[in-house]
Amino acid sequence: MDLGAHVELVACADLEDEAVRALAELLSTTSMFRSSGDPPISAPQLAVDERINPAWMRRTRALAWGGSGQLLGTSVVQLEDRADNRHVAGVEVDVAPGARRRGLGAHLLETILPVAVADGRRLCMGSAPEGEPGAAFAAAVGLEVGQREHRNRVPTADLPRDELLRWVAAAQHEAPGYELLSVDGPLPDHLLEPYAEAVAVMNDAPIDALDLEDVTFSADELRSAHEAIARRGTERWTVLALHRESGAIAGLTELFLPAHDRWLVEQGDTGVLAPHRGHGLGRWLKAVNALRLLDERPDVEVIQTWNASTNPHMLAINHAMGFRAVGVEALVQGDIEPLLERLGRLT
């Protein structure tokens, strides 16, 4: 099939400035992590996000260029070299609105999947927004829904300052056995092992039908991840709840503040370890970071986060903070081999 496109494969770390600019323009229109009315993704932001990754993460892009040099579409495969989930390859496909329904999306997926096969991966996994072309495309190529996630946002202007202050005050009687520690940027070495153990709490979050193993990070992997974030110029605000008696990390939360597209802050992991639940630590942790944002970063307009639609506890806290769903994304998955056969028939 002649798609009128020239497709090249590039390691994201090696993306040229021109490709980054074209990609920023394309993804500003197509990215499923954006909402209509959002400012465009800036090239300087995308450049660091694409090129700088932890040492254990490899990302490769297919870029489909049209005859007059415009970027028609892209796909990406993400491979993580860590102990768990070595069967998985993350994938994304984006096609410019004017180039859709010509088979380019299917072709871009078919082009990128062999990178995952060559690395021994069995399963591919991606996201598709419900009720939009992405979900229809995913179903058409044979990917199945493993979980549904809400993409939630709160405008900082809607954060309930008084309620957040009450959550902080409540900790005095609800959580007297705990104290908070805020760390900006990469965690210091002595906290990496305890943090690696604590962040395993994220495995308690529901995964529904996703074909995933529990995720475990080594201290070295965390160090590399934190360094990559710092090299992007992204600020990372971590707040830890420490159990006074044992010194153990009882809970954690983190915000990521990008260097260039400063209006949008991403909420990272939030978790309270099972023995420490029921003391309002989740509310306390999140309130402290949100209040700091209000006080120190008036240029931030929105906080964005993702939550499984089957995670009522996290959703309850987020709802009370003013987060509202702006979209539902299906996490889709499928074995690569049958997928490639099917794509071969489609393209």
Residue 202 is given by DSSP the state G
How far apart are the C-alpha atoms of 103 and 275, rounded to whole Å?
Answer: 52
Nearer to ligand COA, 301 or 335 (CB): 335
Q: Name the residue whose CB lies closest to ligand COA.
A: 134
Residue listed under structure tokens 């102990």 = 83
Question: Over the range 255-276, which residues count as b (16 or more CB within 10 Å of their CB) and which as e?
Answer: bbbbebbeebbbbbebbbbeeb
Within residues 32-61, the interface with ligand COA by CB under 6 A covers 32
Q: What are phi and psi of 42, to 5 degrees?
A: -85, 150
Nearer to ligand COA, 133 or 185 (CB): 133
Task: Please state the closest distance from residue 18 (CB atom) to ligand COA, in A.
Answer: 21
Task: Please state the closest distance from residue 93 (CB atom) to ligand COA, in A.
Answer: 4
What is the bridge-based pairing of β-strands 302-308 and 264-272? parallel
The answer to whether 187 touches 127, Cβ cutoff 8 Å, is no
Q: Provide the angle, in degrees to the nearest 10, between the axes of the packed helices 189-199 and 219-231.
A: 110
Task: Please report whether residue 138 would count as binding ligand COA according to CB under 6 A.
Answer: yes
Task: Please state the closest distance from residue 92 (CB atom) to ligand COA, in A.
Answer: 6
What is the bridge-based pairing of β-strands 88-95 and 123-129? parallel
Binding mask 229-268 for ligand COA (x = CB under 6 A): ----------------------------------------
Residue 77 is given by DSSP the state E
Task: Please report whether residue 194 would count as binding ligand COA according to CB under 6 A.
Answer: no
Task: Please state the closest distance from residue 167 (CB atom) to ligand COA, in A.
Answer: 36
Number of residues written out for the chain:
347
Task: Please report whether residue 90 would count as binding ligand COA according to CB under 6 A.
Answer: no
Which residue in 80, 137, 150, 238 binds ligand COA (CB under 6 A)? 137
> Residue 197: beta bridge partners?
none
Q: Which stretch binds ligand COA (CB under 6 A): 47-55, 56-64, 137-145, 214-222?
A: 137-145
Nearest 5°: the CA angle 132, 35, 333 is 45
Task: Please report whether residue 136 would count as binding ligand COA according to CB under 6 A.
Answer: yes
Q: Which stretch binds ligand COA (CB under 6 A): 90-98, 154-162, 207-215, 310-318?
A: 90-98
CA neighbor of 337 nearest in space, from 165, 110, 151: 110
Task: Please report whether residue 142 would count as binding ligand COA according to CB under 6 A.
Answer: no
Binding site for ligand COA (CB under 6 A): 30, 32, 93-95, 100-106, 126, 128-129, 132-134, 136-138, 140
